[in-house]
Homo-oligomer: A and B are copies of this chain.
Amino acid sequence: MTVRFAILGAGRIGQVHAGAIASVPGATLVAVADPMEAAANHIRDTFGAEVRSIDAIEGANDIDAVVICTPTDTHADLIERFVTAGKAVFCEKPVDLSLARVKACLKHVEAAKGTLMVGFQRRFDPDFNALKAEIDRGRIGPVEMVTLTSRDPGPPPVDYIKRSGGIFRDMTIHDFDVARWLLGEEVSHVMAAASNLVDPEIGQAGDFDSANVILTTASGKQCTITNTRRASYGYDQRIEVHGASGSVSAENTHTARIEIADANGYHRPPLLNFFMSRYTAAYAAEIAAFVDCVSNATTPPTTGHDGMMALALADAALLSVAEGRRVALSELI
């Protein structure tokens, strides 16, 4: 069976997913929808898809699955429409910035017995998967501490920041998902600190650019997350997991695997500095996993529930910063 796709939203991330669909066996891109004609035509010309309206895709018989890459405030509505229309749905995170709206949407998906996969591409990165596999085979014993370092090369435009829901809902949300994935036990409490060190405009927009979070589980496992919006040396993405009998870590990805030695010392190139080049393989593997779910009618590896839990952790972190206290996840979920 070949899964026939439509992409809703032909922006930057839509193009990434179009490329992923083109490269995955068992998937074909049939249609694309975007109010921006030029963006839609670009996908049409590059990947041979038809440009259609969202309504036409909703009613089409030749579409099995949609990838939602539209602005965040349309995600929940589109998810509901398309599961109702019987399409399998892959939606970029987040489902919505409001936890209440997310809950309602997931209830709708459940009632419709729809298939919904939420995009957390880091779980599909080959190196992070190799790390997870070592944990799963017991190589480090029971997990005790997870350390996530996640630093953007530079801050997004302040306009984006304003619509993003803030650093915890936009950036840390990926780390929250990775933490849940690696801890192997649900997070119970959240403590967070946040400040403005990178750009005062971000602060004026009501957001932070530098943050640290401590997550704890009922059994006492702990996770720290370190975020900043500025790393001069590229897109810094590290994981370290400490267990009772060992640790495992995943290294960063440099632009080239070379080293120069000279009178000033030893020098390696900076890191890949864009999430799309850093996670190219992860995006392709993510779509392949979705195709696999649709073909075999199995549960997606990253569900709407995962999307909701990561958002709840973001809300808890924000509350912790505001009130200077440890926040129980049960206050929010």
A interface residues with partner B (beta carbon < 8 Å): 126-127, 130-131, 134, 139-140, 144-145, 147, 149, 151, 189, 191-193, 195-198, 210-212, 214, 216, 219-222, 224, 226, 228, 230-233, 242, 244-270, 324-326
B130 and A232 form a contact (CB under 8 A): no
B126 and A256 form a contact (CB under 8 A): yes
A48 to chain B, nearest CB (A): 13
Assembled-state Cα–Cα distance A269/B127 (Å): 11
Assembled-state Cα–Cα distance A256/B125 (Å): 10
Copies of this chain, whole number: 4
> Which residue of the partner chain, among B149, B195, B266, B326, contacts A267 with CB atoms under 8 Å?
B266
In the complex formed, the residue of B with least CB distance to A46 is B25
In the complex formed, the residue of B with least CB distance to A266 is B268
B244 and A230 form a contact (CB under 8 A): yes
B247 and A222 form a contact (CB under 8 A): no
Assembled-state Cα–Cα distance A222/B225 (Å): 12
B212 and A233 form a contact (CB under 8 A): no
A250 and B258 form a contact (CB under 8 A): yes
Assembled-state Cα–Cα distance A139/B222 (Å): 33
Q: Do A216 and B233 form a contact, CB below 8 Å, given A210-B222, A247-B260, A259-B249?
A: no
A250 to chain B, nearest CB (A): 5
Q: Do A226 and B224 form a contact, CB below 8 Å, given A233-B262, A262-B245?
A: yes
> Which residue of the partner chain, among B192, B244, B248, B256, contacts A130 with CB atoms under 8 Å?
B256
A252 to chain B, nearest CB (A): 8
A198 surroundings in chain B (CB, below 8 A): 144, 244
B139 and A257 form a contact (CB under 8 A): no
A193 and B195 form a contact (CB under 8 A): no
A257 surroundings in chain B (CB, below 8 A): 127, 130, 250-253
A212 and B224 form a contact (CB under 8 A): yes
A251 and B261 form a contact (CB under 8 A): no
Q: Do A233 and B324 form a contact, CB below 8 Å, given A242-B228, A259-B251, A261-B246?
A: no
| Other 5 A-B pairs with CB < 8 A, given A130-B256, A265-B270, A266-B268 | A195-B222, A197-B244, A212-B222, A230-B244, A249-B258
Could you show 25 A-B contacts with beta carbons less than 8 Å apart?
A127-B257, A130-B258, A134-B260, A140-B260, A140-B262, A145-B212, A145-B226, A191-B191, A193-B222, A195-B219, A196-B220, A197-B220, A210-B222, A212-B222, A230-B244, A231-B247, A232-B244, A233-B263, A246-B261, A247-B260, A247-B262, A248-B261, A261-B270, A266-B269, A324-B326
